Structure 1
Amino acid sequence: MTDIKSASTPAWAKVTARVALELIEHEAIVLEAYKDSADVWTWGVGVTNASGHQVHPRYLDKPATLERALEIFVWLLTEKYVPAVVAAFKGATLTEAQFAAALSFHYNTGAIGRAEWVKSWKAGKVATARTEIMNWRNPPEIIGRRTAERDLFFSGKWSAKGLAKVYSVRKPSYQPDFRNVRMVDIRKALDVVIA
C-alpha cells in the first residue's frame, strides 16, 4: 500500500516491515490524540502536527485503526526521515540492519546529520563510532534504545519480535495510560501497509 521511493534513494534505504518493526519496538502506538510529556498533541507512533499530518483535532476522541497509524508512520519515515539518513551516509552502502539502526536513531534524535558517530564510521573509525553512538544518552531512559541501535548497527543484532505496545488515553488529561498496555502483534497489519 505504501511504496513511496524517490529515484535518487539508494536500494538499501527501503522501509521494510522488518525496519518498521525495529523502530516501533522502541516506540509505542496510541490510536487517538494525546498530549506527550512536552504537552504536544501526538498520535500513532509519535506523530505530531509538525510532521505534516494533522493529528489534532483529527484524532481527538476519535481512535484510528492500527493500519492507519502504521500507514502514516511508514509514510512519515519514508518522506521525512529516510532522506536525511541517505544524506548523512552519502557515498556509503548500509545493510538493512545498519539502515534500521540509523533510521531509529534519527527518528528519536533528529540528529543523524550532525552525529559524530556517523562521521567516524564513514571515516573507517568503527570502534570510535561504536563508542560515540552511546554519547546520545539523555534522558537516561533512552539508554536501552541507544544500546539496541548500537548493537543493530555494529553487530546486526535485531531486537524486534513483532509486538508493539499499544496504549489507551486517560481523560480528561489526554495522557497515555501507561498502567494499561496491550502487546499487539502488528506483523499482519504492517504486511498490509508495506506491500
Structure 2
Amino acid sequence: MATGNPITYRTALEIASHEAIVRQAYKDSVGVWTWSVGLTNATGHNVERYIGKPQTMEHCLRIYVWALEEKYAPAVRKAFAGHTLTEAQFAAALSFHWNTGAISRASWVRLWKEGKIAEAKKAFMDWSRPAEIVPRRQKERDLFFDGKWSNNGTITEYTRVAASGTPVWSSAMRVNIEADLRVALGQGGAEPAPTPAEPTPEPPAPARTPAAILAEIRVLQDELETLIGA
C-alpha cells in the first residue's frame, strides 16, 4: 500500500538531485529565508538560525530527510491511499509534491487512480511553468510512468552567500552527497569492529601437598644413587 512507502536512500537522492543546496541561510527569489535543499521556516524548522553560519553537509541532509518524512510524504501517501506504489512511483510523486505542494489537487493523480494511464502521463506535464521547470517535470514523469531514475549521486551546491543574502551564483559546483545522505538516513558509518575474544586462561596447577613433594624428592634421590653406583 502507498502508506508503506518509506523514504529510501534512492528516493531522497533522486529528489535532492533536482534541487540545489546552500549550507547557510539565503534569500530566495522572493526574499524568503531558505536553507539546505530549499527548506524554509514553513517546514517547522527555523532556518534563520543559519544566517552566516554554514552547516555540515550531513546536518543539512538530515533536516532535509526529516522534512521529507514529516512534512511531505504523509500527503503523498494519503493521495494514493488504497493504491500500491513502486519505489520509483513514490519517489516521483514525492518529488512533484516537494516542488509544487499540489499532490492533493493534481489531475494526473486522479487520472492514474482511475486507470487512465495515458491521460495521466499527459496531464503530468500540465505542471510545467515556469519554463525552466520542464526538464525536472519530464524526469519525474519518466520516473513515475517508466521507472527511469535520473540521479547520479551529485547535487549543485552554492558555496558562498553575498552580504545581501543571495547566493553567489558563480560559486556553484557539483558535489557528491551519497555518503552524507546515507549517514543522514542512518545507513552510514563503518561497521563496528568485532570485540576480540578474551583469551581463555590456563587452569591453575593443582596444589602440591608436603607428602607429594617428599615423594618427588625420594624419587630423585633414588635416581641419583643409581647414577652414582653405575
Regarding TM over 0.5, the answer is yes
Name the counterpart of 1:73: 64
- Contact conserved, 2:24 with 2:52, CA < 8 A, in 1? yes
Amino acid at match of 1:91: G
Q: Which runs of 4+ in 1 moved over 6 A?
A: none
Name the counterpart of 1:115: 106
Name the counterpart of 1:23: 15
Structure 2: how far apart are the matches of 1:88 and 1:72?
24
SS of structure 1 residue aligned to 2:152: coil
TM-score by length of 1: 0.93
Q: Percent identity?
A: 54
Structure 1: how far apart are the matches of 2:118 and 2:2?
28
Amino acid at match of 1:48: T
SS of structure 1 residue aligned to 2:125: helix
SS of structure 2 residue aligned to 1:42: strand
Structure 1: how far apart are the matches of 2:163 and 2:60?
22
Name the counterpart of 2:128: 137
Aligned with 2:43 (options 51, 56, 61): 51
SS of structure 1 residue aligned to 2:3: coil
Name the counterpart of 1:146: 137
Question: Alpha-carbon deviation of 1:9?
Answer: 7.3
Question: Alpha-carbon deviation of 1:10?
Answer: 2.6
Instruction: Kindly provide the CA deviation profile for residues 42-95 of structure 1, in whole angstroms up to 9, marking residues without a partner as x.
Output: 000001111100011x10100011000100000000001000001110110100
- Contact conserved, 1:31 with 1:43, CA < 8 A, in 2? yes
Structure 1 unaligned spans of 5+:
1-7
TM-score by length of 2: 0.79
Aligned with 2:26 (options 26, 34, 47): 34
Name the counterpart of 2:205: none
Larger relative contact order, structure 1 or 2 (CA cutoff 8 Å, min sep 6): 1
SS of structure 1 residue aligned to 2:170: strand
Higher percent of residues as strand: 1
Structure 1: how far apart are the matches of 2:168 and 2:84?
41
